[in-house]
A and B are shown apart, each in its own frame.
Chain A
């Protein structure tokens, strides 16, 4: 039921600056990384683009390097390469998240930057053109109404990348290339809580790298999904224990439940070295309160809320006893 790909040209720039210049000159262009999501969405008529700018020839984007301040991971590093790199051993949640994406064939193509910029997903959006047309389209694309929350004026499509929460609990920063040069910002500032405009980037801006601070941190990532592979998270949770002295702190981040991935607030006073039942209940309650899953999947929002909370609790308890 998928349509042929629309007619577009392919550009293959050699540098990030060249890619940005090509994007500036072509208002209806899109950046193409691994293509595991974009190409599928184009087949479904969800993307209007007359030019795809293939980022796979840019050496800077494919480079992963370590120095005393931490790791710099090019946005074009594939998820398979990321999961296998020995430099990531001290960031276990990131390896687990990379290995939890789709299937091995996708991970060989899909990139870190692509996963961070992954389009938000919804039952009413990730459908074929004829399906959406027969349903009068939706607020995210071509339509006027959000079928999930018809009385609202905001798209509720869920951000469903697995890597973002794992990077958030490791204090990742991102580097952006744009027409005015480079800028660096905390990963949390990449996202907005709006399913139709979920990235806080201008169209020309290109995510070129992720920076991770040095230091070892116990962490873990787990997701709930319908089947054991080739599936997006119904809810995904990353937890890390910081090495703050004398009191290690807990960081919890979620994906799949809202239009953006985010860090759970209100856990700063917890001593991650002293997690008892009361603290685990507090974590559970904080997640339940802050996530807002709605009917963007076949699985009810209420279930995903509870699942996210229990994942957070289980991962925190596991790290505390490790």
Chain B
């Protein structure tokens, strides 16, 4: 069965027909062209597909699109303003928090969710917030430094 959902994606209202059994990740990538949302493990274990739903970081690959009706969904596509990277994106770039880049959109959205709740998180809070996001390249140190740098730059 299909239904109409209305949601706010990266600040813009959208209205789309989705199947009841459509996953949020497929809706975002295939219908809304938000291809920053990466399919990693495809089973809710790696965090590469993390998006913000009403400000909370959630894995899109285990979320049904239909349950996002009326909600606000955010992806990395919504972070840059007028072609300029957000402070968090810039920090990931400058602090080498990105290597292959596959986990990066999910990492950034999880970190974005954290920084909105806690503008000056300590290292433990950052590790806790990113505990659901796996990275096979960096060893996490540079990612944590990037989030710390972004927090400092924003405050």
State the A residues within 8 Å of B (CB).
1-2, 4-10, 32, 35-36, 39-40, 43-44, 52, 54, 56, 80, 102-106, 108-109, 228-230
Contacts and interface: CB of A to CB of B under 8 A. Distances in A.
Contact of A5 (B23, B53, B128, B129): B23
Contacts of A40: 43-44, 62
Nearest to A10: B20
Interface in B47-80: 47, 50, 53, 56-59, 62-64, 66-67
B47 A109 contact: no
B132 A102 contact: yes
B110 interface: yes
A39 B62 contact: yes
Nearest to A102: B132
B152 interface: no
Contacts of A43: 42-43
Nearest to B129: A104
B1 A105 contact: no
A108 B57 contact: yes
Interface of B: 1, 3, 20-23, 42-45, 47, 50, 53, 56-59, 62-64, 66-67, 110, 128-129, 131-134
Contacts of A229: 131-132
B135 to A, nearest CB: 13
B58 A103 contact: no
B110 A104 contact: yes
25 contacts: A2-B42, A8-B20, A10-B67, A35-B62, A35-B63, A36-B44, A39-B62, A40-B43, A43-B43, A54-B66, A54-B67, A103-B131, A103-B132, A104-B110, A104-B131, A104-B132, A105-B57, A105-B58, A105-B110, A109-B62, A228-B131, A229-B131, A230-B47, A230-B132, A230-B134
B1 A104 contact: no
A108 B56 contact: yes
A6 B20 CA distance: 10
B21 A105 contact: no
Contacts of A4: 21
Contacts of A10: 1, 3, 20-21, 64, 66-67
A106 B44 contact: yes
A241 to B, nearest CB: 27
B35 to A, nearest CB: 19
A5, A8, A103, A229: which has the most chain B beta carbons within 10 Å? A103
A109 B132 CA distance: 13
A10 B23 CA distance: 12
A32 B21 CA distance: 12
Contacts of B20: 8-10, 52
B122 to A, nearest CB: 16
Nearest to A108: B56
B132 A106 contact: yes
B45 A7 contact: no
Given A10-B66, A80-B56, A228-B131, 11 more contacts: A5-B21, A7-B21, A35-B67, A44-B43, A54-B67, A103-B47, A104-B110, A104-B131, A105-B110, A109-B58, A229-B131
Nearest to B50: A105
Contact of B63 (A8, A80, A102, A109): A109
Contacts of B63: 35, 39, 109
A75 B57 CA distance: 21
A5 B59 CA distance: 16
A54 B50 CA distance: 21
B21 A56 contact: no
Given A2-B42, A9-B1, A36-B44, A104 B128 contact: yes
A320 to B, nearest CB: 27
A106 B64 contact: no
